[in-house]
Every structure is written in structure tokens, then in C-alpha cells.
Chains A and B, each alone.
Chain A
Amino acid sequence: GENVEQHPSTLSVQEGDSAVIKCTYSDSASNYFPWYKQELGKRPQLIIDIRSNVGEKKDQRIAVTLNKTAKHFSLHITETQPEDSAVYFCAASLLSNDYKLSFGAGTTVTVRA
């Protein structure tokens, strides 16, 4: 099955700086890569996703890049704000009827004011 590794496990950044989280996956057939954000005490929510037919996707201060050859993808958060403090999970999936996701272990991001 798919194995997703995520680094770092914790990340502390100064407000206004950038944060980068990296994930690698094992199954070259995977073609869908979402990122979920979980604020303290709340449920995970999708913040951005990318399919294997594109290399980069942006949504305001958030961007995701994908390198299919190397089987890794990254989340980039620019101009970090206190509300970006959360646990971020990457995931990989082979798009099919079940859309089963394999998640990374998570990265706890703390934005220092």
C-alpha cells in the first residue's frame, strides 16, 4: 500500500516568515495529493490539493508543488500569521471510486508573534 512520510514533525516560524512542509510517497500510481489543516480541538479541513497532471498550485498565501519523478510534494505558506498555527497533514491517493487517502504523520506549525 501507499506510504507517506512527512517532515518536519514540528516547525516554529516567526510571524511573516515562510513555512515549508515536505512529503514523500511510495506508490508512483498515486495521482491526488491533498493537504489538511487541523486547528487545536477542531476537525481536519482541506486547504489545498493538487493532481498529478500539474506541478504547482496556489491559493493566496498557500502553494503546493509536486515532483512526480522524485515522488515528493510540498506545502508552502508565505507571510505566516498566528492563525496559521495548526497541525498540517499531507495525503496521497489513487483517484478511484473509493478515494482512500494515506496520510502523513502531521506537522505541528507554530507561528511566533
Chain B
Amino acid sequence: DVKVTQSSRYLVKRTGEKVFLECVQDMDHENMFWYRQDPGLGLRLIYFSYDVKMKEKGDIPEGYSVSREKKERFSLILESASTNQTSMYLCASSQRQSGKKETQYFGPGTRLLVL
């Protein structure tokens, strides 16, 4: 079974704080993704990575950065948290090879509240 874990289920931070969200997968997947989920907006891609030290901007990268130093770990960083970053953050991973390997496996999510 693919396992994608996220460091926290709930997080409360103050405006201006630097926030780290960690994601770890144990299936040797090349691709990793960070989404935020907001009611009525679905899942919006923030950043993704298809290899170690590689990163690509998604649809809403402003205010975020990422780090992928190891294949199994993908970190999302909020350099200076703001209240409009209050959201559910979901990490996902997938294999690179084509075939029946396109499935993205999601972590349990981190619900972040910025006060």
C-alpha cells in the first residue's frame, strides 16, 4: 500500500510566521505535488517536483516555496504566513512511468489556520 504522510493534521500559526509543511512518501515515487483545497475551488496546484532538487510552479505559487532534497520528502514553505493562506494543504505523489501508474496518492492533509 502506498503511504503518503504529512507532518501535521492541524496547525495554527500567526501572521508573518515562517511555516513548514512536510510530506513523505514510501513508494519511491518520482513525482510529488502540493495542493491547497478550498470550498468551491477544488484542488489547486501550488508546486510540483518530478525529481530531487527539481521544482515547477503550479497554478498558485505566489507566497509559497518548496524544497525536495530527498526523493521521498517534499516540503512546502510559507515564507511569511498570511490569513489568506488559511486552507487545507494536500500532498500527493505518483510514479513517472506511463502505463497504469498515473494515479496520484494523497496524504491526509494539513489544515492550517493563520491568525
**Cβ contacts under 8 Å, A102 to chain B:** 45, 59
| Prevailing SS type, chain A contact patch | loop
Given A32-B102, A43-B109, A44-B106: A103 in contact with B48 (beta carbons within 8 A): no
Complex CA distance for A93 and B109, rounded to whole angstroms: 22
Instruction: Give the total of B residues in contact with A, Cβ under 8 Å.
Output: 26
Q: Does B61 contact A (CB under 8 A)?
A: no
Looking at A1, A49, A99, A105, which has the most chain B CB atoms within 10 Å of its CB?
A99
Chain B residue nearest to A98 in the complex (CB)? B50
How far does the Cβ of A87 sit from chain B's closest Cβ, in whole Å? 9
The answer to whether B102 touches A99, judged by C-beta atoms less than 8 angstroms apart, is: yes
How far does the Cβ of B10 sit from chain A's closest Cβ, in whole Å? 12
The answer to whether A9 touches B40, judged by C-beta atoms less than 8 angstroms apart, is: yes
Residues of B within 8 A of A (CB): 4, 31, 33, 35, 40-45, 48, 50, 56, 58-59, 90, 94, 96, 98, 102-104, 106-109
Q: Which 3 pairs show the lowest CB-CB distances between chains A and B?
A: A105-B42, A43-B106, A103-B43
